[in-house]
Structure 1
Amino acid sequence: MLVYQFMPNRSLDFYLFDLIRRHVLDWRKRVHIIEDFGMAKLFRKDELEAKTKRIMGTYGYIPPEYVRKGLYSMKYDVYSFGVVLLQIISGKRNTSYYGTYENLSILEYAFELWLEGQGMEFIDPSLDDSTSSCKLLQCLQVALLCVQENPVDRPSMLEVSSMLKNEMEAIRLPKRPAFSIKKNEKHEDGSSQQEKFSINDASFTQMAPR
């Protein structure tokens, strides 16, 4: 049995929408404690990755390889982080649709605006990065890299941290995000904007502290 200390500010469920907020407890000084360990039960101590028979997780934060094949790896966390980051910088719900015809998920809507050079339209206007080294458009690009269709194309969380801290000279261009309703498109260099996921080219990151 797990026993938690009293959290006077309750959970983030009281303050935020659309996140897995009931799993994050809020201490008086805004120190957050994540209290859900459901996914940890999928692994034995000697396993580096897992294949599950039952899909676990919250809709909208689950990557395509897990939905389609039940494959779980460290790149699952990267995908989920990318979705959360998009929500943070936009203030938009993950369960709503956007765009001219209101048929785009938050992932596709962010990508389309970024592709058209209009990324600032996606950003919550109340946010100001003028005094921060972590720029909002850079956060948008990093988030789009995290939600790539193919897990091989997603960065590791260590790389994500480096990109957000401006420790990398260049950030690569994202491809079309997962679960996109649009067909494949080409970059100027001829590479595909979207690649179908294949179990043969899935990459599983070693289970190590990040």
Structure 2
Amino acid sequence: MVAIGLTIFIGFSSLCYLLHRKGKAKATALLLFNQTTNRAKRRKMDKKMSEEVQLYSFESLAIATNNFSLGNKLGEGGFGPVYKGKLPDGQEVAIKRLSTSSGQGLLEFKNEILLIAKLQHTKLVRLLGYCTQGEERILVYEYMHNKSLDFFLFDTNKKEQINWGTRFRIIEGVAQGLLYLHKYSRLTVVHRDLKASNILLDSDMNPKISDFGMARIFGQQESEANTKRIVGTHGYMSPEYALRGIVSTKTDVFSFGVLLLEIVSGKKNNSCYDSEHPLNLIGLAWELWREERALELIDATLIESCSRDEVMRCIHVGLLCVQDYAKDRPSMSTVVSMLTNESRQPPPPPERPGFFIERGDQQAQISEEVERYSINGLSISELKAR
């Protein structure tokens, strides 16, 4: 009886051992298969990237920027510093060196490059190439000689260099760039961080939208999405995005409305105006519009060069873009039609806009809520391909 029990025990143990070995072998085979598949995917991605944009060595970019010297530094965002560089053929470029703290992995970085490379429009800054060497993650863009819009717009000594004709051209150019992203590109793209510092200016002061690190890509059947990661810049985020994480093309429309009012006025939205009552720029524009004094919003340096009809049209469109509810904001195609005066129907009158500071506890509370949910600066990408 003991012998039978022992035999059964040994048999069962042997079976378990064989099954364990078989399971281990299967797991090893599966691991090897996955590693082989991942390597194949990486090779395919690298091949596709080499076809889309140029791969630069770290050494060549270090030489181009004088070893990333302070003298070549153009600025710095949440992703890391940007340097001016000069390639061996004499071409000037902007080189963005991502900081190791950005949290972006190699796969996400390469995905982003492939997505950005597909965006081709005269009003978007062009990606020329990249570098992935060791821990380095570097993007190489075309160089824009006149820096960013905020460099002129919010500087009392430089704002006179951009007269009304230039500002209106910038407004139209940014609108065309956004319309392409929302409607005409191969991907439906929501920028999510449209602001004056992300509008770069070429040697002729033509605008180009930059910094797609936070862009959200939508599928063909998608019109909006929900995210728990709220990224963007305080003062430019729409109410539904800042408070509930709802992203759509109307998120960019709100930001464009803020930018439009800033270009007209030369004022920042996240500052307070009016000595008697705390008003941000949206609140100031609304109060002046409601009191039929909208032209008082205009930057004093533009009085001589502006077209009053164009200014009024821009303020009107700006207020429509910053409406509280996304459904009440126009699409970018409608915005372009209104700005170019091609729309057959007169624009509807704006209602009270969203997210402005005025007297009263309710608006102060909303302002605090925005601050709590917003991030003043840049963050890593959140991309979803079509």
**TM-score under structure 2 normalisation?**
0.43
Aligned to 1:57: 232
Q: Which of 143, 154, 171 lines up with 2:347 in the alignment? A: 171
**Structure 1 residues 155 and 182: alpha-carbon distance in aligned structure 2, compared to 1, 3 A threshold:** farther
Question: Which amino acid letter does the alignment assign opposite residue 91 of structure 1?
Answer: G
Question: How far, CA to CA, are the matches of 2:259 and 2:206 in structure 1?
Answer: 18
Query: Is contact 2:195-2:236 (8 Å) kept?
Result: no
Aligned to 1:92: 267
Instruction: Indicate whether 1:17 and 2:166 are aligned.
Output: no
Aligned to 1:4: 141
**C-alpha RMSD of matched pairs (Å):** 2.7
Aligned to 1:208: none
**Structure 1 residues 10 and 52: alpha-carbon distance in aligned structure 2, compared to 1, 3 A threshold:** same
In the TM superposition, residue 59 of structure 1 has moved relative to its aligned partner by 0.6
Q: Which of 276, 284, 291 lines up with 1:109 in the alignment? A: 284
Question: Which amino acid letter does the alignment assign opposite residue 178 of structure 1?
Answer: G
Query: Is contact 1:96-1:105 (8 Å) kept?
Result: yes
Query: Is contact 2:241-2:247 (8 Å) kept?
Result: yes
Query: Is contact 2:324-2:353 (8 Å) kept?
Result: yes
Name the structure with the higher helix share. Answer: 2
**Structure 1 residues 6 and 101: alpha-carbon distance in aligned structure 2, compared to 1, 3 A threshold:** same
Query: Is contact 1:24-1:35 (8 Å) kept?
Result: yes
**Structure 1 residues 58 and 131: alpha-carbon distance in aligned structure 2, compared to 1, 3 A threshold:** closer
Question: How far, CA to CA, are the matches of 1:133 and 1:115 in structure 2?
Answer: 18
Name the structure with the higher strand share. Answer: 2
Query: Is contact 2:236-2:254 (8 Å) kept?
Result: yes
Quick check: which has more Rg, 1 or 2?
A: 2
Question: How far, CA to CA, are the matches of 2:319 and 2:281 in structure 1?
Answer: 11
Query: Is contact 2:277-2:359 (8 Å) kept?
Result: no
**TM-score under structure 1 normalisation?**
0.75
Q: Which has the higher contact order (CA 8 A, sep 6+)?
A: 1
Aligned to 2:241: 66
Aligned to 2:318: 143
Question: How far, CA to CA, are the matches of 1:113 and 1:60 in structure 2?
Answer: 19
Query: Is contact 1:43-1:49 (8 Å) kept?
Result: no
**Structure 1 residues 45 and 3: alpha-carbon distance in aligned structure 2, compared to 1, 3 A threshold:** farther
**Structure 1 residues 130 and 32: alpha-carbon distance in aligned structure 2, compared to 1, 3 A threshold:** closer
In the TM superposition, residue 134 of structure 1 has moved relative to its aligned partner by 5.3
Question: Which amino acid letter does the alignment assign opposite residue 149 of structure 1?
Answer: D
Query: What is the number of residues matched between the two proteins?
Result: 182
Query: Is contact 1:43-1:50 (8 Å) kept?
Result: no
> What percent of counterpart residues are identical?
47
**Structure 1 residues 134 and 36: alpha-carbon distance in aligned structure 2, compared to 1, 3 A threshold:** farther
In the TM superposition, residue 68 of structure 1 has moved relative to its aligned partner by 1.2
In the TM superposition, residue 36 of structure 1 has moved relative to its aligned partner by 0.9
SS at match of 1:173: coil
**Structure 1 residues 22 and 120: alpha-carbon distance in aligned structure 2, compared to 1, 3 A threshold:** closer
**Structure 1 residues 160 and 11: alpha-carbon distance in aligned structure 2, compared to 1, 3 A threshold:** closer
Q: How does 1:185-196 map to 2 (within 5 A)?
A: none
**Structure 1 residues 125 and 57: alpha-carbon distance in aligned structure 2, compared to 1, 3 A threshold:** same
SS at match of 1:99: coil
**Structure 1 residues 138 and 182: alpha-carbon distance in aligned structure 2, compared to 1, 3 A threshold:** farther
Structure 1, unpaired ranges of 5+: 184-210
SS at match of 2:141: coil
**Structure 1 residues 130 and 179: alpha-carbon distance in aligned structure 2, compared to 1, 3 A threshold:** same
Aligned to 1:157: 332
Question: How far, CA to CA, are the matches of 2:324 and 2:210 in structure 1?
Answer: 29
CA displacement 1:115-172 (0-9 Å, x = unmatched): 1111111112332588859521121111101000011111111111111122233111
Aligned to 1:43: 217
Question: Which amino acid letter does the alignment assign opposite residue 70 of structure 1?
Answer: G
Deviates more, 1:127-136 or 1:78-87: 127-136
In the TM superposition, residue 22 of structure 1 has moved relative to its aligned partner by 4.2
Aligned to 1:198: none
